[in-house]
Amino acid sequence: MTLRLENVSRVVGAETHIHPTTLTLEKGTINLLLGPTLSGKTSLMRLMAGLDRPTAGRITMDGVDVTGLPVRERNVAMVYQQFINYPSMTVYENIASPLRVKGAPKAEIHRKVMEAAALLRLESQLDKTPLQLSGGQQQRTAIARAIVKGAGLVLLDEPLANLDYKLREELRVELPRIFDKTGAIFVYATTEPTEALLLGGNTATLREGRITQFGPTVDVYRRPDDRATAEIFSDPPMNFARMAIRGGQMSLGQVLNRPATGPLAALAEGDYWLGFRPHHVTLGAESPHAIRVSATVAVTEITGSESFIHVDVGAERWIALVPGVVEYLPETVIDIHLDPDRFFVFGTDGRLAAAPTGAAAA
Amino acid sequence: MRLRSLILTLYLVFLTLPIYWLMNMSFKNNSEITNQGLTLYPREFTLKNYINIFTDPAWYMGYVDSLIYVALNTLISISVALPAAYAFSRYRFLGDKHLFFWFLTNRMAPPAVFALPFFNLYSAVGLFDTHWAVALAHTIFNVPLAIWILEGFMSGVPREIDETAFIDGYSFPRFFVKIFVPLIASGIGVAAFFCFMFSWVELLLARTLTNNMPISSIMTRTASSAGMDWGQLAAAGVLTLVPGALVIWFVRNYIAKGFALGRV
């Protein structure tokens, strides 16, 4: 099954929730919608599901136009961020519900429910009602119901966001395994870049109702088309600095002025945005090309195994993510090192002008 | 601590005294009520008053008639209010908030305002002195109330449950009956209780639109040339309390939420 959106847009009142979007999703793939809150992930999913009608554009499934088809006649399943189950039914009946509506034979219903329950480790909970379960089990029930239907399109709208850390890790590991067995198109919305990278597949990055880039997750991460994509796909956020290239010299305002080397050498003269990931900012020089910059510490956050050092350099605020516990008092002046081999360069229009190659982009 | 229980006890006595006195009177005969002055319990205990009510069709049919139109009214009100409340809770449409408020303003008008037009209308279409006449007239007060209560309860059910059901393939009627109604069952109970109570105690419309059908108006028959039949009146009064008490028992756990119109 192939799902295709052609110039699909949705406007509600004076607000445009989704700008015209064209997207093709193939059978048996995991597709991530990555973007901050209110970027249009849920709106896009609701259009795919048929819960909302697009204002303009066409949606086809296997070439068949389904744009106006009501959701109950479509072959879709959906899991919400909130744990949505039927509170008045047992877990068994919850999972069986889509099959019962279809009028499947009793034996088949039983077999499929038991299969899904085994896959999601719910066997011992089948006689309980959803509200007697933990959050993780409630969400498993919702996922089981989505899987048992055998839908060609399964939409998961931040399914793990309301779970605690441990359960989230656990389910995140299990999900790809569950996905693989069904051969459906999976669409998975998340706000977390890490989650997208862990799940793999394809990623569409969204900002303000627009898809900024769509492609294999790793490619989107390593070669973002524009600044917006790079910002969305970086956690903590990517650091940026205004950069000017003049006569073979790169300069970051008053901070830095040096020959444009490495990937910067090929750039035309002009103004650019320089981007680099927080974990590529190091305290010591880790490469012979490393550029030393003097910075003032604003605040340090320590997570246990890593430290986030927020520093002011000229007018810019950057974040350095360094291993181990490193603590500086605010206002301390320290040296940080940037690796020009890991620089992303964007034009003032936001388009990518130069990117690191291969593993240096990670 | 002792002061607190003392005050509570006094309050309780104050609340239950009229009800106790009504029951007390219903087990006395008239001469004890009128001649013997203050007696805290019946000196000559008698069930005569109750037996009289249960054997005289003129009496007990009053209860039956009242119960019929009250039940009819509750049924109509709830079945009309359910889809209306669903629309208010789930959809945005032109003027929805105004309409919603306007419904409630219906309750601000005193029943007397509607008595004459209803009388005229029902006489013209031949509904006068039927159960339907009262049941339909009471919906003007009960439907808005039921919509308000049910809307509150429905808005407490996440919209995603509706959507999940549609994604699962439920048709709207099947979803509504199988999934939605069980989720707001307590709200329906509370709404039914309020409809029941209003219709049960409302006298003016019920009396104007029928020939002495409501039980409360039948009670006035106890006044005769021989004076008031106090014992009989008290027994009828006690029996009038029973249905309300029964209904309250069923919705006792949800009643507070109901008073807040489901918005707790």
Q: Cis link prior to A236 (omega < 30° from 0)?
A: yes
* Structural contact between residues B65 and B217, judged by C-beta atoms closer than 8 angstroms: no
The better pLDDT of the pair B173, A355 is held by: B173
Q: Looking at the predicted structure, is the pLDDT value of residue A134 above 60?
A: yes
* Structural contact between residues B50 and B26, judged by C-beta atoms closer than 8 angstroms: yes
Q: What is the pLDDT of residues A167-217, one digit of tens each?
A: 888 888 888 777 777 788 999 999 999 999 988 899 999 999 999 999 999
For chain B, give the mean pLDDT.
88
* Structural contact between residues A349 and A256, judged by C-beta atoms closer than 8 angstroms: no
The better pLDDT of the pair B258, A327 is held by: A327
Chain A: give the shortest CA distance to residue B92, in Å. Answer: 12
Residues 21-60 of A with CB under 8 A from B: 49, 51
Chain B: give the shortest CA distance to residue A70, in Å. Answer: 9
What are the start and end residues of each CATH 3.40.50.300 domain in chain A? Answer: 3-232
Q: Do A72 and B164 touch (CB under 8 A)?
A: no
* Pick from A76, A84, A89: CB nearest B160: A84
Predicted TM-score of the model (pTM): 0.81
In the prediction, which pLDDT does B225 show?
63
Architecture of the CATH domain B56-260: Orthogonal Bundle (1.10)
Say how far apart CA B119 and CA A132 lie, in whole Å.
54
**In percent, how much of chain B has pLDDT > 90?**
46
Q: What is the pLDDT of residues A332-350, one digit of tens each?
A: 999 999 888 888 999 988 8
The better pLDDT of the pair A209, A314 is held by: A209
Say how far apart CA B145 and CA B137 lie, in whole Å.
14
Say how far apart CA B243 and CA B250 lie, in whole Å.
11
Say how far apart CA B208 and CA A53 lie, in whole Å.
53
Greatest pairwise CA separation for chain A in angstroms: 77
Tell me if residue A66 falls in helix, strand or coil. coil
Q: Looking at the predicted structure, is the pLDDT value of residue B264 above 50?
A: no
* Pick from B164, B171, B183: CB nearest A78: B164
- Any chain B CB within 8 A of the CB of A80? yes
Cα→Cα distances A150→A33, A60, B55, B155, B161, Å: 22, 19, 66, 31, 20
Instruction: Domain ranges for chain B, please list them.
Output: 1-46, 56-260
- Does the domain at residues A236-354 carry the CATH identifier 1.10.3720.10? no
Instruction: Give the fold, CATH level 3, of A3-232.
Output: Rossmann fold (3.40.50)
Q: Looking at the predicted structure, is the pLDDT value of residue B262 above 60?
A: no
Looking at chain A, the number of H-run helices and the number of E-run strands are 8, 20
* Structural contact between residues A232 and A313, judged by C-beta atoms closer than 8 angstroms: no
Tell me if residue B161 falls in helix, strand or coil. helix
Q: Which amino acid is present at B126?
A: G
Q: Do A72 and B160 touch (CB under 8 A)?
A: no
